[in-house]
Amino acid sequence: AKHIGTFGEKLGCCERLSTLSLNFRSNSITGINLEAFGAGIGQCPALTSLTLVFAETETTGGSFGAMIKGIGQCAQLEYLDLNFSYNQIAEDSLEAFGEGIGSCRNLTSLMLKLQRNQITGKALARFGAGIGRCAKLESLHLDLSNNMIPGRYAKQFAEAIGVFDQLTKLALQLSGNSDLKDRGALSVARLLRRHRLRECTVELTGTGITARAAAAIRDANPAV
């Protein structure tokens, strides 16, 4: 894994590379290598589809944030699937995540898996604002399950992410955030009401919501 930075630099020389899928699950990867790796990918001028799996690498969030900023240089990306589950990502990286992803203005599909990290939600508003800059999104899948997100920060995220005119498919996985409560669930309901969705999945198991909030989610959008 120590050579991942050099690998990224080599990828940046692939002028015709349009699709890239890599799985680094359960490796030991250092921050400086990740930053160089992301910068290399950011130099791929034809890349439109990117899938990266960095699950269970025990890497800190700041390292991932630096990598995402590099990937954000791929302004032509249309499909982005990032799996950072089971790591040590916390607030210091979420803003960088949002900034990098928000630079990919041509994204139509975004899948981001951040379950089982150390996210308390304090930077969710800035993270959501970054995603909100991807105005062409048609499909959005966010897995933030089994973190430590309370309702007040879920509310800020739902407000910051705004409205996507073309969004037709949405999946939000928030299960296991035990302090989300009704405040967070009702914020999700307001987010759903702002979109015309054909497919919608919301998972809120173990979040302490009441039957009233669960009903509000179901009633918010016919696609739920």
Over residues 82-101, the pLDDT tens digits come to 999 998 888 878 888 899 99
pLDDT tens for residues 36-56? 899 999 999 999 999 999 999
Instruction: Band the pLDDT of 57: cuts 50, 70, 90.
Output: confident
pLDDT tens for residues 25-36? 998 776 678 888
Q: Percent of the chain beyond pLDDT 90?
A: 81
> What pLDDT is recorded for position 2?
64
Mean pLDDT of 153-176: 96
Mean pLDDT of 65-81: 92
Q: Which residue carries 């062409």 as its tokens? A: 136
Q: Does residue 113 surpass a pLDDT of 90?
A: yes
Instruction: Band the pLDDT of 204: cuts 50, 70, 90.
Output: very high
Mean pLDDT of 219-223: 93
Mean pLDDT of 175-190: 97
Of residues 147 and 92, which shows the higher confidence score? 147
d(CA 188, CA 98): 19
Q: Does residue 131 surpass a pLDDT of 90?
A: yes
> What pLDDT is recorded for position 29?
76
> What pLDDT is recorded for position 33?
83
User: Three-state SS across the chain?
Assistant: CCCHHHHHHHHCCCCCCCEEEEECCCCCCCHHHHHHHHHHHCCCCCCCEEEEECCCCCCEHHHHHHHHHHHCCCCCCCEEEEECCCCECCHHHHHHHHHHHHCCCCCCEEEEECCCCCCCCCCHHHHHHHHHCCCCCCEEEEECCCCCCCHHHHHHHHHHHCCCCCCCEEEEECCCCCCCHHHHHHHHHHHHHCCCCCEEEEECCCCCCCHHHHHHHHHHCCCC
In terms of C-beta density within 10 A (0-12 exposed, 13-18 middle, 19 or more buried), how is residue 128 classed? buried
Q: Which residue carries 């399950």 as its tokens? A: 145
Least confident of 20-34, 53-67, 106-120, 197-211: 53-67
State the average pLDDT for the chain: 93
